[in-house]
Chains A and B, each alone.
Chain A
Amino acid sequence: MLDLTTKKIVERKALRINPAKTCQPIGAMYAALGVHACLPHSHGSQGCCSYHRMQLTRHFKEPVMATTSAFTEGASVFGGGSNMKTAVKNIFELYAPDIIAVHTTCLSETIGDDLKTMISQVQPDVPEGKYVIHANTPSYAGSHVTGFSSMVKAFVSYLSVNSGTKSNRINVIPGWVEPGDMKEIKRILSLMEIDNILFPDTSGVLDAPMTGTFEMYPEGGTKIEDIIDAGNSKLTLALGTYTSEAAAIELEKKCKVPMKTLGIPIGIEATDRLISELATLTHKAVPSSIEVERGQLVDLMLDSQAYFSGKKVAIYGDPDTVLGLVEFVISLGMIPKFVISGTPGDTFARQINAVLAENEITDAVVKGSADLFELHQLMKNEPVDLLMGNTHGKFIARAEDVPFVRVGFPILDRYAHQYFPIVGYTGAIRLIEMMSNVILDKIDRTCAEEDFELVM
């Protein structure tokens, strides 16, 4: 497995090998699916759209609908305006979404298609009460995370309105997490009896039930009227700097809704911060049910500590997710040895290094804009006890025989992951289960027969 990966690390400036990121539009597509009756539209050549639908479908094992402008060579030279016009007409006629959320690709960005103008030109074909919005998502900048963030922001830019009547709700932008995570965040908010608008929200969309009927627009997704009304909320909580902050800032700028950025609530400390923040904001006591969950998590951390203490971990993935995971493994007494993201930007390393410094961990390797080839090389030079990240890590895990926990995006080779959270105290409990399972499985598989234990 990965036999050609050398132990010797040659510095690379140009060749990307086994990336730890993908491109912007898929993130925009995912974000758009979190809005009810929204059809994502890819303004580029059709290959992108097919790839993005393919990857999301393989992750969720669910239908992922999206349309494309299907550029030809002619449109690529002379502009995709008429493609967009034809598309919008066909889409409303055939698929009747409430809103079309357009994103771009490297093609339409390079030729400089002016989406704002194009959208104003297609207005005659937009039925009454329906919307066409857009986000620019050039694939040659940032990563899929950037695309996600830009699309969430676009919903705010196009839709949110401050009507002058403040509501009692708070906005929560959950970041790029799974439907199970969004459901968990909503559950926490409801346990705390906090009126909220969560957006985007892919629960009920990408974990839809089997009923014998295909629903083009499943029940889930944030309602358009809620995104409009988000302009009246009393506060926005952006969970995740990379994924959610841009939309919250936009909402503050546009509708004067104050905002605060927290991390994605992965692990005990990040969840504590979220709960404390919510309690402070709403002047509500934390319900005992949440205290019980927290207590169960701490109990479990103590029960299982022997298997985590001092163990080295390699973590890769999207910045906001990785930040949460790093903090969590430290709280378990583990050492995050290699921390990698493919997404560019200095914020990632700065945030991770701050957490490491706070915990006096000094010899970790932290890299943004890195890839899995490099991570593997680092692991060849200094083995770790646990690897955490998306499906692509399974090759390294097998090559180096490292216990492996699938977390993040995409997970292409396992079922049911989107139903369960990794956020909140409950999510942290699940992470402990997954992490200890793989560690104990390896001990069971590799120990001498005379050391094989019944109780562990």
Chain B
Amino acid sequence: MKDFMDKVLEKYPAKTFKSRKEHIVIKKASEAPQKIIANTRTIPGMITNRGCCYAGCKGVVLGPIKDMIHIVHGPIGCSYYTWGTRRNKAKTQPGGQNYIEYCFSTDMQESDIIFGGEKKLRAAITEAVEIFNPKAITISATCPVGLIGDDINAVAVWAEKTYGIQVLSFNCEGYKGVSQSAGHHIANNNLMRSVIGTGTKVPTKKHSINMLGEYNIGGDGWEVARILKKVGYDIVCVMTGDGSYEEIKNAHTAQLNLVQCHRSINYIAEMMEVKYGIPWIKVNFIGATGTTQTLRDIALYFGEPELIEKTEQIIAEEIAEIEGQMQYYKTRLEGKTACLYVGGSRSHHYQTLLRELGVETVVSGYEFAHRDDYEGREVIPSIKLDADSKNIEHLTVEKDEKKYRMILSPEKYEELAKIIPLAKYDGLIKDENEGTIIIDDINHYETEEIIKKLKPDMFFSGIKDKYVVQKMGVMSRQLHSYDYSGPYAGYKGAVIFARDITSGVHTPAWRYVTAPWKVEPLLEGKVVGGDE
């Protein structure tokens, strides 16, 4: 495998070769720990799948908060492309507002670039307040905003004073950092600084939790909430799928934070622990094994025998309901191979589910994850920020004397840390089988070479890859949008996922790729093109 990857890299110009080879690791347990280079700048001209800081901030973290108006300060494209394109579902709460179907922009024109756009931004906020009377507004900056020096922070301060509602500004210009990741960080900082902890709810209920880094794609968050509520947990807030402003304000009242997407929300998880004393655990609600393990971890955290018993009872019930179907799909999928290339978390989470279905992962990687997502949080002290990322603000919080609660004693914490992933994430590499290829910021060329060589049965990625992969004769499913299906999380989601990929792999159309009058015979589901 190493030889093959070396051969792939040979085609690169020298400088590109040098850089790319550090982003590729072949799992070898005997060499553990293995280091990968990640979160560095994208090489121009490579056909990356990466997006920008604005996408990470507004598109991913802020956008799903349904009852805030998210105004994008920039030319029209940035707001337009985040309009309904990520499937972070949201239901209107009784008497509440829901802006998910809307797209708001200052639609900057040439004159705004020349003379500055602050005046227009102020006017846009005024109009938004007049028409909608929202509870709160966010302003997201786009590329030109930073360059022309519009002070969106000053506008936010003015708007708060003028209209008496919270107006948050995010300097998430697209060129900041090297990917969506910078945007996550910027969004986390301001939610932490200005929203979380400002609610007036008194922490009362037992077993209260927050779900962090869950964006309710295709209803994932709702399926997870269904299970958690069945066990008896009180969900204080979800960040940010189907999220509401009021609930996020009260996030500090929960007793435990569950971190699903480590990459996008670990900043808030860390800061809430420091400021409010709320511990966090890494969870994985993808796949039955992942969900079961997570439910057990949460029960152990609270530690009450009745809760543990109830948890086991619900796990048994849920498993009984899906077992037969999962078994059936496994017979249809067993022995197949998969490649996973998703943003910053799913490439890892879905491997548990694929394993349940008898599918082996042969290549995995992230667009924009950092080394800790690959190698585990223990490497964080050794990560050096490079020039491209060092301008992203690092927010330091302190203990909030009034709101800090000791939820776990240090002794209890230490004891629990041995059995559940308290403030711990092991990363992707440790979970991989021997020989699996791990690639960071994979590009089109590498994708094509890998498919030709490894001939996987399925390739999980995003919309930009989907039809490339399919044209090569390999079943492709999107693990960002779920191809408009879902939920994929939780027990019920596992069955929907299994159904979707089974239908994809076995769909009759694969049989017709080669016309009957062509001589070459064709293997079902293995129509890999190229010169292999």
Contacts and interface: CB of A to CB of B under 8 A. Distances in A.
A binds B: yes
Interface of A: 1-4, 6, 10, 12-19, 21-26, 41, 44-48, 50-55, 57-58, 61-76, 83-84, 86-91, 93-95, 105-107, 110-111, 138-141, 143, 208, 210-215, 342, 373, 392, 395
Given A23-B75, A54-B463, A72-B175, A106 B144 contact: yes
Interface in B74-129: 74-81, 83-85, 92, 97-99, 101-110, 112-113, 120-128
Contacts of A3: 92, 98
B391 A16 contact: no
B53 A47 contact: yes
A46 B123 contact: no
A141 to B, nearest CB: 5
User: Which of A44, A69, A83, A107 is the most central at the interface, judged by chain B CB atoms within 10 Å of its CB?
Assistant: A107
A302 B226 CA distance: 56
Given A13-B123, A68-B48, A107-B143, 17 more contacts: A16-B107, A17-B104, A19-B80, A23-B75, A25-B77, A41-B45, A46-B52, A70-B48, A73-B176, A76-B147, A88-B45, A93-B11, A93-B16, A94-B45, A106-B142, A212-B529, A213-B530
A94 B513 contact: no
A406 to B, nearest CB: 15
B113 A140 contact: yes
A330 to B, nearest CB: 30
A450 B529 CA distance: 58
A143 B49 CA distance: 24
B454 interface: no
A298 B500 CA distance: 46
Interface string B382-393: 000001100100
B92 A76 contact: no
Given A4-B102, A47-B53, A57-B466, A91 B45 contact: yes
A19 B44 contact: no
A214 B471 contact: yes
B463 A111 contact: no
B158 interface: no
A212 B473 CA distance: 5
A105 B143 contact: yes
B445 A95 contact: yes
Given A4-B132, A18-B102, A214 B44 contact: no
A89 B45 contact: yes
28 contacts: A1-B101, A3-B92, A14-B121, A15-B127, A15-B131, A16-B124, A45-B52, A51-B55, A52-B81, A53-B464, A55-B85, A63-B467, A68-B48, A71-B175, A72-B41, A73-B391, A76-B147, A86-B15, A94-B46, A95-B47, A110-B144, A139-B76, A139-B77, A211-B471, A211-B513, A212-B472, A215-B471, A342-B76
B514 A107 contact: no
Contacts, number: 263
Interface in B130-158: 130-132, 142-144, 146-148
Contacts of A25: 77
User: Which of B97, B101, B128, B472 is the most central at the interface, judged by chain A CB atoms within 10 Å of its CB?
Assistant: B101
B174 interface: yes
B45 A44 contact: no
A19 B76 contact: yes
A15 B124 contact: yes
Contacts of B144: 106-107, 110, 140
Contact of B107 (A19, A71, A74): A19
A145 to B, nearest CB: 12
B310 interface: no
B504 interface: no
Given A50-B50, A73-B388, A73-B391, A93 B13 contact: yes
Interface string B465-494: 011101111000000000000000000000
Contact of B143 (A12, A44, A62): A44
Given A211-B513, A214-B472, A107 B175 contact: yes
Contacts of A57: 463-464, 466-467
A44 B387 CA distance: 19
User: Which of B76, B125, B462 is the most central at the interface, judged by chain A CB atoms within 10 Å of its CB?
Assistant: B76
B448 interface: yes
B4 interface: no
Contacts of B130: 10
Contacts of A18: 83, 102-103
Contacts of A48: 52, 77, 174
Contact of B387 (A22, A47, A74): A74
Interface in B156-170: none
Given A15-B71, A57-B467, A90 B13 contact: yes
B444 interface: yes
B75 A45 contact: no
A210 B16 CA distance: 32
Contact of B16 (A21, A53, A90): A90
Contacts of A14: 106, 120-124, 126-127
Given A75-B175, A90-B16, A94-B46, A19 B52 contact: no
A373 B471 CA distance: 38
B215 interface: no
Nearest to B183: A47
Contact of B81 (A15, A54, A342): A54
Contacts of B473: 212-213
A72 B47 CA distance: 16
A110 B112 contact: no
A141 B110 CA distance: 6
Given A76-B143, A87-B45, A45 B123 contact: no
Interface string B50-62: 1111110000000
Given A73-B175, A213-B530, A214-B448, A86 B99 contact: no
B379 interface: no
A334 to B, nearest CB: 28
A105 B108 CA distance: 13
B178 interface: yes
B104 A15 contact: yes
Contact of B12 (A70, A76, A94): A94
Given A90-B16, A213-B529, A4 B97 contact: yes
A77 B472 CA distance: 41
A134 to B, nearest CB: 15
A90 B48 CA distance: 12
Contacts of B125: 15
Nearest to B121: A14
A107 B147 contact: yes
B42 interface: yes
Contacts of A51: 51, 55, 77-78, 81
B29 interface: no
A101 to B, nearest CB: 13
A52 B80 CA distance: 11
B472 A70 contact: no
User: Which of A50, A71, A89 is the most central at the interface, judged by chain B CB atoms within 10 Å of its CB?
Assistant: A50
B196 to A, nearest CB: 26
Contacts of A65: 47, 444
A383 B509 CA distance: 43
A88 B81 CA distance: 27
A107 B146 CA distance: 10
B261 interface: no
User: Which of B80, B105, B109, B173 is the most central at the interface, judged by chain A CB atoms within 10 Å of its CB?
Assistant: B80
B527 interface: yes
User: Which of B47, B113, B130, B178 is the most central at the interface, judged by chain A CB atoms within 10 Å of its CB?
Assistant: B47
B316 interface: no
Contacts of B43: 70, 86, 90
Given A51-B81, A111-B147, A15 B123 contact: yes
Contacts of B104: 15-17
Interface in B1-46: 11-13, 15-16, 41-46
A250 to B, nearest CB: 22
A214 B68 CA distance: 43
